[in-house]
Structure 1
Amino acid sequence: MGEGAGYVHQMNGFAVVANDRRYSEAEGLQRVEERAVTRPDGALEIKTVFAAGVRQIRVERYTVHYPGSAVVEQWLEIVNGSEGELKLTRIDTVQGTLAPGAYTLDYFMNHANGTEFIPVTCPLEGTKVLDCTAGRSSRLMHPWLTLRGAEGGVFACSVAWSGNWILRLEPEAGSLYRLSGGLHDWEFFKVLQPGGRMESVHILYAEMAEGGLNEISIEFGRWGKQFWYPSNAITEAVPAAWNHWWPYEDSAINEDVFKSNVDAAAELGLEICTLDAGWFGEPNPECNDHLGWSENVDWYLKRGDWHKINTIRFPSGIADLSEYVHSKGMKFGIWCEIEALGVKADLAALHPEYAALRDGEQLGYVCFGNPEARQWAFETLQHLIVDYKADWLKLDFNLDPKCGCNRTDHGHGDGDGLYEHYMGYYQVLTRIRELYPEVYLENCSSGGLRIDLGLAKHTHGAFLSDPDFTRHHLQLFWGASMMLHPSACYHFTWSQTIVHYDSNVDKDPIKPDMPLHKFDYMIRANMLNSFACSYRLPELPDWAQRRLGYHIGLYKSMLRKFVGEGDMHRLTGPTLRDGTGEQWNAYFYVMKERNEAVLFIFRLDGGDDERRTFRLQGLNETSVYELMYEDGGEYGKATGLALMEEGLSFELEPEASQIVYVRRMR
């Protein structure tokens, strides 16, 4: 990356500020012990102990090297060995020095709900700080960066944390840069009593002497699939799903509407049906009409009362609905915002000790720093799984906790409430997975405002964004798949919506006179990842139902194995939801043995470039491959070398697509 070796140097450094004094290996700490163990997954875990003397602060650094992977994991455990209190105010899990040279910095901004994964590329100049202080990891920036060297090579770093985080790039003497970060020090402190200990947030990083963004994202994707993400039969299947939300929301959903969609979903070949928000609340005909904002019945104000069902809308109950879905040969999913606490919820009155408060004011969520609140959350999710036989939990979180709870009767102090909340949330998810390993946990937070490798370790897939129009979806996928394997990305095709939203461009993208290629383009864009749709299925025109059914069958029979197992290569830069960026998108999935691959091509609306040539990647140069085009086209064959050097050319109409299957002949 820089001159010479092309690597980031000394990335396993760290720094801790305790009682207003800075500690690191070079500042007051001495290395006193080191041991290495090989874990059951084959990873080498190295524990190095540093101390500032007898009965003082001790720092245990853990560094994990994964077999066959460039990805390294690091975290700290800080122990108070003294006889007095130890006040921690800054904990940098990592600290490293960049090799001299010129660097290009890549990262992703996120201004608000629906603007996830805005790419930023710039020269590394001056001091650069990437951080989040909203209390949700992806609310302002996504916890990920890459540095590309002028002479080749790439380095990536990600904070595996769902709350506030920071990564600093600061110039030092001699044209060097220091990279440091981990848990954000804004409004944070934690007091350790004698003998107390604290685990830092974990950081993942990787460096590759050759390659660029594709190579580093493939490395993280492979590592995630093999070592990091939880897996079960649902994740292995990469299923095709339906969710009721956008065309019905909370105001138009009821038992009959849901069942009619379940019938249509079964006919189409879908495999999951999820009941989103709107199922719980008071038995009142107006309850669940969130648009009406009636304080007496609005479900949003009663979040936390997950034991209640609106029996006016769902007279047979949720268990009956689940049984109906299962009788059709599909799995049942249900939405729950388990962390949220509405101001009108019975839970808020019955258990005020659960509420997160800041200076006495309600923050709108249940503080999982409280062990009693964690137990309540576990039992509530258990109820959804056991009593409703839910196979899929959509776990949402629709607020910014910022610096979090500072009440001191929860088992945490007044400076570490947000930290303890997320540690508690991870504990709840771990208990659920251990007891119900076959249940799929979907990570959602106002769409994609909490996408990070911390939750990726505890959930099975990340919902990318609330808006889902095609251009926006392609922007999301290009960015999210930088840190997540495509199979861990979950989103909807461009949805029908009950009302018009500027963020989603069009209330109903399926037009009566719609050319078939536009419909195909819209559906195929979401086959790049775990597939789902949110339509009024029984009301789709006959032609749209037939074509959707065809594509669901195509996804299941031909495409999802590539999404589930393949290495994904971006053949273009990102497109942007505002109409700028690339006007063509191409993604190439290659299976491990390089025997099979599939190419997705999309021409977006806008731009004058009617024809493009794409050079494929990741094939065996000397092998001969046959090419088959989904929409017709010249059947052909070519060597891997020719496909990678000369490429394939396409001429498409705006908002059209093509799928090409590539199979090795010899």
Structure 2
Amino acid sequence: MNGFVVTVDGKSGSNEDGFYRAKVTEAEGEQGTSVRTESFVSNDGVLDVESVTTQYPGSAVVQRQVFVTNRSGRDVRITRSDPFHVTLAKADYTLDYFKSTNGLEFTPKSFPLRGTQVLQSTAGRSSKGRHPWFTLRDGQGGVLAAAVAWSGNWIFRFEPLQGQGYRITGGMNDWAFAKVLRPGETMESVPVLYAVVSEGGLDAISVEFGRWGKRFWYPENELSRSVPVAWNHWWPYEDNLINEDIFKANADKAAELGIEVCTLDAGWFGEPDPNCNDHLGWSETVDWVLKRGDWHKINTLRFPSGIAALSDYVHAKGMKFGIWCEIEALGVKADVNTTRPELPAKRDGSPLGYICLGNPEAQDWAFGVLERLIVEYKAEWLKLDFNLDPCAGCNRTDHGHGEGDGLYEHYKGYYELLKRLRAKYPEVYLENCSSGGLRIDLGLARHTHGAFLSDPDFTRHHLQLFWGATMMLHPSACFHFTWSQNVVHYASNVDKDPIKPDMARHKFDHIIRANMLNGFGVSYRLPELPDWAEARLGELIAFFKGTMRRFVGQADMHRLTDQTERWGGGDSWNAYLYVMEGAEEAMLCAFRLAGGEAERRIRLTGLDASATYAISWTDSGRVMEESGRALMEEGLLFEGLEEESSDVLLLRKKG
């Protein structure tokens, strides 16, 4: 699996054809990795290609990347640089992947691999169309999984070979891409990560990627390691109803409930006009969406004391302060368009609606904006959003990039911006958001602490997202809200307010616990919660902080059921087992969904077969003992759970 494909000046070549191998070197890399570099030279002497394979100790995950150097005396044009090139000897596989668009992230697709297949994104955002991930299953528990660690356009091609077998290639999409290399210049490909397991199926491959991500890939700081409980104002107030007094009232209640972070989402920014924070069209001249980029402006009618004072208020309550910013976006009426005309991304002279971070000056500008939010507003959490499709990207030639590589350089610039930010302010939590979950990829997971999964958050949808996202991300690297209250009814979110006056406690627990599987956030009108809901939410938050989040933050997570689907398809039970290192203890979270059968026997995995475990049910108080072997071979029988209910079981090894 150490191949590559490159296309230069319209001619394609690979490690198998068009290049000869010059040398091989082995070295130890960072974090104890083993790095194998195979150096190739094109038969015509124009290109050097370093094909680099990084193996992580104790992990099945492997990284592939290539570095292409122009060794000729003329410019060359690179249009394809695939670091992933695999030939499979047989063709009897099942291909799994996830379709995605706003509110429909991680929609499962699965079928026998037949004929030529192409998975790709051309929207300029990694998860618009499909998520940058696939698995091939062999039917006996063996799985190959691969992911492009890139936030822009990507591709995987599956091409049948004559006779039998498949050729799979992938990396950054070659659609509308070209990079001119001058003599001596080098282009770095995007990374592709892959893993192979011989048994255990999809659960085994997801555990490999989650464990690898925690150990080698994600940035961590004190806040991210703690898996904090966060409140965000967005859904119940959006931008047009939030103001200083409402935010403070919610912060008061958040502190009482044990919430640890309060985030000011969109609505703080804009002209001091009463209609500025209603982007649905009250007044186009002051619509804040059209003014994105002028981040120094605050709607002082809504926030008369300023944002720094609001941050101080949150801190005085013992919580951390978060703030939203769509740092890449640029509204057509933003002053930045005229004061800094060198910053906007354009294609064929037309604005694309974002700042081109392929321009080093734009990186400096963006860093200054975010630094101000951190220093002046004392923000410990940045929610970084991006709500547009850049497609092929910028083709200006005065940004330091060429006509064909603007999007490539933009994302390299965005990664550099995030690296610079973390280097100077390492304790700030960076949340990755993009119209919900339209840039969930291992590229941004390398530079941010949590990926927001989707705008809709009703429970069945959330469980669909969680099952899918944790194929490549550890639960601690996922962030979402519980089923939120909304200002207006959204068809995508099923219900304007899921908290009913006569709601049974088990249904409320079902909603909240579903989001306690990962990074935990709520978006409620906290001062208006019914007394019973406020009390129970406080109890659940305390249980998450005291018991659950240690497992969410540290344990291997095993999926014990199939994926459910948001509109009622898929599995009608969901169960997830969090197993700590050494299998000394574990936490089992089980959900019976609407329409689920009254009883379900669930087999556990990842335990010590030779040990006996003490098991306790947190709701009923029931206790029992059982061997790890019996739990994995025979399972636990769940009965008596009503529809839309849940339970959390704690397991501890005895003796």
TM-score tier, shorter chain, comes to over 0.9
* Contact 1:517 1:655 survives alignment (8 Å): yes
Preserved CA contact (<8 Å) 2:308 2:378: yes
Q: 1:42 aligned to 2:32?
A: yes
Partner of 1:8: none
Q: What is the RMSD computed on CA atoms of the aligned residues?
A: 1.1
SS of the residue 1:410 aligns to: coil
**Residues 55 and 83 of structure 1 are in contact (CA less than 8 Å); yes or no, is this contact kept in structure 2?**
no
- Structure 1 residue 378, shift from structure 2 partner: 0.9
Counterpart check, 1:188 vs 2:150: no
Structure 2 matches for 1:242-261, cutoff 5 A? 242-261=231-250
1:562-597, Cα deviation, whole Å (9 max, x unpaired): 101111111111111111111111111111111111
- 1:55: Cα distance to partner? 6.0
4+ long deviations beyond 4 Å: none
- Partner of 1:341, secondary structure, is coil
Distance 1:401 1:587 in 2: 37
Residue 250 of structure 1 aligns to a residue whose secondary structure is coil
Partner of 1:94: 84
Question: Does structure 1 residue 72 correspond to structure 2 residue 62?
Answer: yes
**CA distance in 2 between partners of 1:252 and 1:469 (Å):** 22
Q: Tell me, which stretches of 5 or more residues in structure 1 are unaligned?
A: 1-10
Superposition pairs for residues 396-545 of structure 1, below 5 Å?
A: 396-545=385-534
The alpha-carbon deviation at position 606 of structure 1 amounts to: 2.1
- Residue 125 (1) aligns with residue 114 (2): yes
Alignment check: 8 A CA contact 1:355 1:364 kept = yes
Are the counterparts in 2 of residues 493 and 525 from structure 1 also a CA contact under 8 Å? yes
Deviations for 1:292-324, whole angstroms, at most 9, x for unmatched residues?
Answer: 342111111110011111111111111111111
- Number of the residue aligned with 2:17: 27
AA of the residue aligned to 2:204: E
- Residue in 2 that maps onto 1:664: 653
**Is residue 611–residue 650 contact of structure 1 (8 Å, CA) maintained in 2?**
yes
Aligned to 1:61: 51
Match of 2:342 in 1: 353
> Is 2:281 the partner of 1:292?
yes
Cα shift at 1:653: 1.1
Residues 415-437 of structure 1 show CA distances to partners (whole Å, capped at 9, x for unaligned) of 11111110110010010011111
Identity of aligned residues (%): 63
Conserved 8 A contact 2:3-2:51 = no
CA distance in 2, matches of 1:128, 1:324: 55
Within a 5 Å distance, the mapping from 1:259-338 to structure 2 comes to 259-338=248-327
Structure 2 counterpart of 1:341, from 323, 326, 330 = 330
TM-superposition CA deviations, 1:7-32 (whole Å, max 9, x none): xxxx1100111011222222222222
Task: Give the match's secondary structure for 1:362.
Answer: strand
Partner amino acid for 2:436?
A: G
User: How has the CA–CA distance of structure 1 residues 647 and 313 changed in structure 2, closer, same or farther, with 3 Å as cutoff?
Assistant: same
Rounded to whole Å, the distance in 1 between the matches of 2:290 and 2:406 is 23
Q: Which amino acid aligns with 1:15?
A: V
The whole-number CA distance in structure 2 between the counterparts of 1:296 and 1:637 is: 67
Number of paired residues?
A: 654
Query: Contact conserved, 1:101 with 1:149, CA < 8 A, in 2?
Result: no
Q: Deviation of residue 101 (structure 1)?
A: 4.8
Q: Deviations over 1:383-415 (max 9, x none)?
A: 111111110100000000111111111111111
Match of 2:75 among 67, 82, 85: 85
Within-5 A mapping of 1:170-189: 170-189=159-178
Task: List gaps (5 residues or longer) in structure 2.
Answer: none
Provide, for residues 474-500 of structure 1, a one-character-per-residue CA deviation record: whole Å limited to 9, x for no partner.
Answer: 000000000000000000000001111
CA distance in 1, matches of 2:282, 2:577: 46
Q: Secondary structure at the match of 1:352?
A: coil
Q: Distance between the aligned counterparts of 1:49 and 1:539, measured in 2?
A: 65
- What is the match of residue 636 of structure 2? 648
TM-score (structure 2 length as normaliser): 0.99
Distance in 2 separating the partners of 1:404 and 1:296: 27
- Residue in structure 2 matched with residue 215 of structure 1 by the alignment: 204
Counterpart CA distance in 1 for 2:252 and 2:313 is: 9
Structure 2 counterpart of 1:104, from 89, 94, 98? 94
- SS in structure 2 opposite 1:326? helix
TM-superposed deviation, 1:350 = 1.1
Distance 1:377 1:62 in 2: 32
Deviations 1:531-571 (A, max 9, x none): 11000001101100000000000000010011011111111
SS at match of 1:41: helix
8 Å CA contact 1:302, 1:344 repeated in 2: yes
Give TM-score, length-normalised by structure 1.
0.97
